[in-house]
Chain A
């Protein structure tokens, strides 16, 4: 059995829980370990109750664990709320000057030690020191991380933090801990990245040059990460006056010729719906990230969900082709973004990339190299490609439904586009032949688009029962399948990454192999389950649904499926 330890750090917002988590994550990363850190916080800047759950392993990690081996409680609330999660042999480090250690609780005067080291603000570093020491990490590992983090600050800052860490280490010296492990001394296994950052890097790799957004959790971080590169690359990131403005700016920029994107969450996506339709009818390529959170309306702003699937399928009036892609892991998300821009250009359609709060805010080791695509084809024509530029028609009828796309103001060919139904040259038309012709032209792109769609990823596809999900829950589902198999249930997994156009034939074939299939979704009604029913006629036996805004643990999926299996 390898290393598999979970540390949970909890306290009030503003206490620096994330800092402790990041210090631990960096220490693990530098020692060559794998990890996944999940953020759980309330929609407030100070106070309340937040925590970060960090799972550490010597193998790649794709899901959080329900068991906590080491709980760092920076306040009483954390202690009371989470002590029951602490597993056999686990410990709690509790910020207290009261003393009175028992088998579970180890009081450490974290705040007091921080003050001694130079200020209350150093409490994170004291906690990180104590935590790493408990886990058996070499002292130099934490030192190294602190030097990286504070090396460019005043010497005093680094000095104080080193002292703070040391006092944390000393406070737990000699305390036995069953879950301490031998720390490897290997090169980092990959890059330590958040989901939001991977999405931004994917956009850069795809040569996205313009992004407009309106701040909305949990999508804002995609733009924060992207804007970091504004100074170094031909890239402009603009905070729009609202989501409606954002999507229309993106359409304008794309129409004028640059790859452009926006990122938002459910409420913002709702505001963007009319723009989505505008991109549809004007055949303007755009990439739109919808990072889901529970709704309706404001719902649970800082929490996670997969509850917009139906909405994304149908948002905006009438029918028009679109892609919906849902990356299943951080590694995959980089390539998904590259693909999204390529597909948008190739088919002149909007592409929705959907993730969620759990995905965007989690940190993990990405051990796949993030390589740029070989080349980028913009699928654009110019005067030189035309016999007679003056006769250019932006919406000319073609067999594939894709008309040659010229850019406005790039030559003699005039580019005319209208959100009204139009004739081939782009002028408004209400003629029946134009309406039917253009509608059919747009819809017939679906034939080509269908061929681009990837079959869901499967694990043990010959399993008697299959667990079916989409997007970010892929890691949890895969792990729950391993648990089920260990318990003697012949289970497999089907993880959708491309949802629309729907891979109908392939999914039917996969599902026809199993006795039963179970949906695993973070919504209240099994939205994908009913889409599968609609497109394939196959119906799920039961659904494991979670819509409390918190990500799944593999164990809870496995438990529920096992219970369903026992009565079926």
Chain B
């Protein structure tokens, strides 16, 4: 049996005390343990940002790449070996800003990976600039008049683009979040979990108290994740209240199953028949 403690990593943590990322890491460990997934079956891929440091704080295989590009790396890795579970950690700036096009492409491919977006509505690593999900008017040192652009809504965007698994979690509700991550990992296809995350250093608007008052669990309220119209409604806040939980789920064909060649097993393990290659080259 795999236990959450198996993922315990003694590498020095580099986040601020009270950071929302701690809750996310704990939820990840719970989910991996719940699925009995040992570290050698899991690959964590991340971009750049505070969220992207996450893989360093779990004991696992990981590839910590470039800002915005984690989904592309994860896609290549999954195509190469689709037997492994791939989890991607990105921040809101990383995923929705720098990596926006890869986000759209990952939805279209329906690549079977689980994307955790640590969405704290601010740039933490670079010390507090507005992010793609910051509210208009969000004041920072560089946006003294407040952010001038409207925030994007990643959940609504993912739903509108046909994503098959869309959830919104909250870093303060570790049990719910762990369960969402578990379901995302089990889901055959691309799964997005946008995580409302607190930044204790640079976002003094969207705080623990702020979220505690607003976040509510739609699945407890009886929401059926197969209902796209209801899901679209929950993509947006209801007044002051922010819906969390599994917003939408539908059956889809994951990317690696769309590649006929991969029905024969992971690309990495397939036999490369020398004779056949030689004869193909001879006849080419």
Contact = CB atoms under 8 A, between A and B. Distances in A.
A253 B82 CA distance: 11
Interface in A364-415: 370-372, 407-412, 414-415
8 contacts: A233-B280, A238-B79, A249-B72, A255-B73, A256-B84, A258-B268, A371-B278, A409-B81
A193 B41 CA distance: 43
A143 B75 CA distance: 49
Interface string B25-40: 0000000000000011
Interface of B: 11, 14, 39-43, 45, 48, 53, 55-56, 59-66, 68-69, 72-81, 83-84, 101-102, 104-105, 259-262, 264, 267-268, 270-274, 276-278, 280-282, 284
Given A207-B277, A232-B276, A278-B65, 17 more contacts: A210-B267, A235-B261, A236-B267, A240-B72, A240-B105, A252-B72, A252-B74, A252-B75, A252-B80, A256-B78, A258-B268, A260-B76, A274-B66, A275-B69, A371-B278, A407-B268, A417-B63
A558 interface: no
A212 B76 contact: yes
A245 B102 contact: yes
Given A232-B280, A233-B276, A256-B43, A414 B75 contact: no
Contacts of B271: 234
A232 B276 CA distance: 9
A420 B64 contact: yes
Given A209-B267, A233-B277, A372-B281, A249 B62 contact: no
Given A256-B81, A409-B40, A370 B281 contact: yes
A174 B4 CA distance: 89
Nearest to A249: B76
A427 B9 CA distance: 11
B168 to A, nearest CB: 25
Interface residues of A, number: 60
Contact of A414 (B39, B68, B276, B278): B39
Nearest to A260: B76
Interface stretch (A6-14, A197-205, A486-494, A508-516): A197-205
Contacts of A270: none
Contacts of A233: 272-273, 276-277, 280
Interface string A179-204: 00000000000010100010001001
A251 B277 contact: no
Contacts of A275: 66, 69
Contacts of A248: 65-66, 69, 72-73, 76
Nearest to A208: B272
Given A245-B69, A250-B76, A204 B281 contact: yes
